[in-house]
Amino acid sequence: MGLDQDYSMFAPKPPTKNRHVFALITFHDQSTVIWFYPRMERLKYWQSMFKERYRKFANDNIVESPFKMFWPDFARYIARLHACPGNEPELVSIYVSEEDMIEAQLALCTKIAVDSPPRLIKLFTYKVEPPDLKAK
């Protein structure tokens, strides 16, 4: 069911950054689409229960450089999600929006704007090849 209890959220140290992964897909006709990695707080409870295990993948693993070997596979997956005959994806750019949790919490509690806006980090751009769009 995807239920898991572990203390990686709190140990060895709690996360200090709030991250959101998304991708910009550019198609053959130069149109673009933004794809957002599912965010647990925006899903219904029963949906997030089954997908909670993927939160760590997006927030911690895929963003860190030791895991950059998976970026091409992740980009191919996103391209296959958006494959449409006659207007195939040509480029997939993966981004991370990141902000410090403490400042985000302060803004919520005090109802004031924080000085530092979320940072936009471009992780990777992948040129999609025709074989990439075929499921293996």
- Residue 33 domain-assigned (yes or no): yes
Q: Which pLDDT belongs to residue 9?
A: 54
The pTM assigned to this predicted structure is: 0.73
Residue 6 lies in a domain: no
At residue 8, the pLDDT reads 57
Query: Which DSSP helix (H) or strand (E) runs through 56?
Result: helix 55-56
Q: Using the 8-state DSSP alphabet, how is residue 63 labeled? A: T
Determine, yes or no, domain membership for 115: yes
In a domain, 1, yes or no: no
Three-state secondary structure of 84-118: CCCCCEEEEEEEEEEEEHHHHHHHHHHCCCCCCCC
Amino acid present at 3: L
Which tens digit of pLDDT belongs to each residue from 108-136? 666 555 566 788 989 899 999 988 888 76
d(CA 15, CA 19): 10
| Three-state DSSP state, 3 | coil
Please count the structural domains in the chain: 1
Cβ(1)–Cβ(49) below 8 Å: yes
99 lies in some domain = yes
pLDDT at res. 94: 93
What is the rounded average pLDDT of the residues 67-74?
87
Closest CA to 103 of 18, 41, 44: 18
In a domain, 37, yes or no: yes
Higher per-residue pLDDT: 106 or 14:
14
10 is a domain residue: no
Which residues are paired to 123 by β-bridges?
none
Q: pLDDT digit string (tens) for 12-62?
A: 666 677 788 899 999 999 999 999 987 777 778 777 777 766 666 666 667
